[in-house]
Structure 1
Amino acid sequence: MQHHAPAEVKQSGVVHYTFVLIGLSLLVYVLHKLDGILLPILFAALLAVLLLPLVLRFERWKLPRVWAIIFTLLLVIAALVGMFYLFGSQIVSLRDELPKLQERGVQYFDQIQQWASHKFGYQPISKDELIDSGMESFKSSAGGYLGSTLSTTAGVLSVTTLVPIYIFCFLYYRDHMRQFLFRFVSPDKRTNVLHTMDNIQVVVQAYIQGLLTVIVIVSVLNSIGLLVLGVKFAVFFAIFASVLAIIPYIGILVGSAIPALVTLVDTGSPTKALGVVGVFVFVQFLEGNFITPMVTGSKVSINPMAAIIVLILGGELWGTPGMILSIPLVAVLKVVFDANKSTEPWGFLLGDVSDGTELKSAKSAAKEGFFMRTWHKLRPG
């Protein structure tokens, strides 16, 4: 009696893509629910990659790995404390000006109401009514504001505590994690994995170092423009807008609107307020077309359409932190896509128009990167 092997059941394309969509939906749900855990880890991973060269330099100076990481973290903390000290003095001065700005703002609001009443028959609201309605609104939502403030403060303190710990762990256990990844890969494919890891390191370092350099340059240009216009707190607003530029496309809008509004209330001159907006728009034009391409070059080659889409998706998933993380994460994802033939079309879709040549240059640049050199040292024989 002849036995026939069971016929192979082939999945239809509809069933396959249905399972893919279900898996993606579950992944997005889990990522959203675990944002409090994942966000500090992701920020720490990016910062660990950025700080790795400094740790390696300390280690080459014969410092133990633990002390090399501690000294690196202390340098970063000292830089942040110095920056907050400079910001703090400006914030205190701005706080002292707030009552005067508030009084002038109410006066301008009354003038606008009088103009609208004369032009359109609009019934103006008195200053007392405006204050009373504002107080009623504040009282009704005070509990929500207090709860959100406490939640935000707790979240910031948690992140401030956890991120340095995660950075230390990533830097200290980097060899152990690399060996962990190798256990999923056959020996003949480990060279490709090393190339991919080195490419990721190059992309992340290029993005973050370039971003910090751009922030410094844009801060200087903004400061010059605002000082020429005679804007109060020019340096503070210049740095504030430059830091907000971390959030692509949207950050500069918020960063320019606040100083323009303060200038309008302080001077009563719409022309000067428009001049403030003009300074930020001009510097943003220089940043997008000349400064950023010269600083970062072609190492982070995400096309604008993909950048806008992932920016919106990151904001929907994780809010402002998601918008900050979206570009470097998608750049890492592109490197992973480019490393596999089956996913290379998706990497091409995310990349810029000249991405073919950029991919080759990135691979050649990472030919003997940190992970490859370390592997050659650790490999027996």
Structure 2
Amino acid sequence: MRWMIWAGLAALLVLSWFLLPILSPFVVGFIVAYLFDPLVTRLDRHGVSRTLGTSLIFVLGALVLVVSILALVPVLVEQTMRLVRLFPQLLDIVQSRFIPWVNAQLGVELDVGMLRDMAIKHGETIGKVLAQGLGNVSGTGSAAFVAVMNLLLAPVIAFYLLRDWPRVMARIEALLPRHWSGTVVHLAGESDRMLGNFLRGQLAVMLANGVTYSIGLTLIGLNTGIAIGMFAGLVSFVPYLGTIVGVLLALLAMYIQADSLLPLLLVLAVFGVGQVLETVAWQPRFVGNEIGMHPVAVIFAVMAGGQLFGFFGILLALPVSAVLIVLGRHGLEAYQGSGFYAGRQGPPAPLERQVDPDGEG
């Protein structure tokens, strides 16, 4: 019987691999249901049925999405295009100010004209490739159909999973072997507490960082502040990456816009305040120490996920690390409670003291 179970699991994995292109709406729906299940459960405890609670969550989510699209997306698109157009201006500044200073100081001849030509050439090439790719996607009926179906199915799947979440989890638990059930449920519960709190908290921290940077950069007069601030908040799930990228982009944009060094101090002040708020307010309030990973370990996990599984590996690196931490913690506890660790077989016999014939020990 055991070999049949393992064969069935292997067949399921192989089937999932072949069905990977159509699994994305199910994965998205599962993630959405997982994130919002505590809120619906809380409403259920206060007398609101799961069907009504799920409906309320989706209505509010749809309203927020519509308002964001109408109010925020056009601004982000406009500022992003403005930010892209800063690159040729940056090359002009480098050519007219930085290169002459370097030539005078080092006695060399540098020229960024070739760099400009390469950037324009490759920019046109990238644009043609993207346009061709979009044309192929739009021209392929099956690809367009799958994309539209994924877009429409994800919220539907999320709604039904969120409404029936307790029953789905109960059925999964009922399939576990009884002698494994207690251990698996305990590990799953602990992983759920760590992973759920971390995911929801980290999303809140990213949003708070994005809003903080966007407001601060806009207040100091940077006309691409919202785009840079939201991008810095988006990538802040990697320690210090959001700050580093945001500071560099904001400094370049502000210098080109203001043509002065003094406003750059305001940019540094904005990100300094943002870092302080993230350290003393956002992280303790929303995330706490749910994972407890060292920043170097976080960076390694993100890089490893990207190397192994690409963009999705980057997104899933920290959640997977959270689950592995729970499993590793229990494995360590089992090891430390084992007879091998405690030496219950008895300590090694002491070495006999050698006595020389003269009795000098």
Q: Identify the TM-score tier after normalising by the shorter chain.
A: 0.5 to 0.7
For structure 1, which segment, 304-313 or 141-150, has the greater mean C-alpha deviation from structure 2 after superposition? 141-150
After the TM superposition, which residues 246-257 of structure 1 pair with which residues of structure 2 at under 5 Å, given as runs?
A: 246-257=237-248
Residues in 1 aligned to 2:239 and 2:116: alpha-carbon distance in whole angstroms: 36
- Give the aligned length: 315
1:11 counterpart residue number: none
Query: Structure 1's 151 and 79: CA in aligned 2 closer, same or farther, altered over 3 A?
Result: farther
Query: Structure 1's 256 and 44: CA in aligned 2 closer, same or farther, altered over 3 A?
Result: farther
For structure 1, which segment, 220-229 or 248-257, has the greater mean C-alpha deviation from structure 2 after superposition? 220-229
Instruction: Give the letter aligned to residue 175 of structure 2.
Output: R
Query: Structure 1's 212 and 271: CA in aligned 2 closer, same or farther, altered over 3 A?
Result: same
Match of 1:115 among 95, 101, 107: 101
* Conserved? CA contact 1:214–1:287, under 8 Å: yes
Q: Kindly, what percent of the aligned residue pairs are identical?
A: 22
Query: Structure 1's 248 and 74: CA in aligned 2 closer, same or farther, altered over 3 A?
Result: farther
Deviation sequence 1:270-324 (CA, Å, 0-9, x none)? 4433542453255335524664134322333334343222111111133333222
TM-score by length of 1: 0.65
2:341 counterpart residue number: none
* Conserved? CA contact 2:83–2:253, under 8 Å: no
Q: Does 1:178 align with 2:158?
A: no
Cα RMSD, aligned residues only: 4.2
1:84 counterpart residue number: 69
Residues in 2 aligned to 1:36 and 1:306: alpha-carbon distance in whole angstroms: 31
Match of 2:270 among 255, 269, 279: 279
TM-score by length of 2: 0.67
Q: Does 1:52 align with 2:43?
A: no
After the TM superposition, which residues 293-308 of structure 1 pair with which residues of structure 2 at under 5 Å, given as runs?
A: 293-308=284-299
Q: Give how far 1:266 is off.
A: 0.9
1:105 counterpart residue number: 90
* Conserved? CA contact 1:241–1:251, under 8 Å: yes
For structure 1, which segment, 51-60 or 96-105, has the greater mean C-alpha deviation from structure 2 after superposition? 96-105
Query: Structure 1's 172 and 100: CA in aligned 2 closer, same or farther, altered over 3 A?
Result: closer
Unaligned runs of 5+ in 1: 1-28, 347-381
Unaligned runs of 5+ in 2: 1-13, 139-143, 337-361
Match of 2:204 among 204, 213, 218: 213
1:319 counterpart residue number: 310
Residues in 2 aligned to 1:301 and 1:106: alpha-carbon distance in whole angstroms: 43
Deviation sequence 1:106-137 (CA, Å, 0-9, x none)? 531331344344443425455xx776554443
* Conserved? CA contact 2:83–2:224, under 8 Å: no
Query: Structure 1's 200 and 256: CA in aligned 2 closer, same or farther, altered over 3 A?
Result: same
Instruction: Give the letter aligned to residue 184 of structure 1.
Output: L
* Conserved? CA contact 1:49–1:204, under 8 Å: no
Query: Structure 1's 180 and 131: CA in aligned 2 closer, same or farther, altered over 3 A?
Result: closer
Q: Give how far 1:51 is off.
A: 0.5
Instruction: Give the letter aligned to residue 226 of structure 1.
Output: L
2:54 counterpart residue number: 69
Query: Structure 1's 178 and 319: CA in aligned 2 closer, same or farther, altered over 3 A?
Result: same
* Conserved? CA contact 2:22–2:150, under 8 Å: no
Instruction: Give the letter aligned to residue 74 of structure 1.
Output: V
Residues in 2 aligned to 1:138 and 1:101: alpha-carbon distance in whole angstroms: 14
* Conserved? CA contact 2:91–2:112, under 8 Å: no
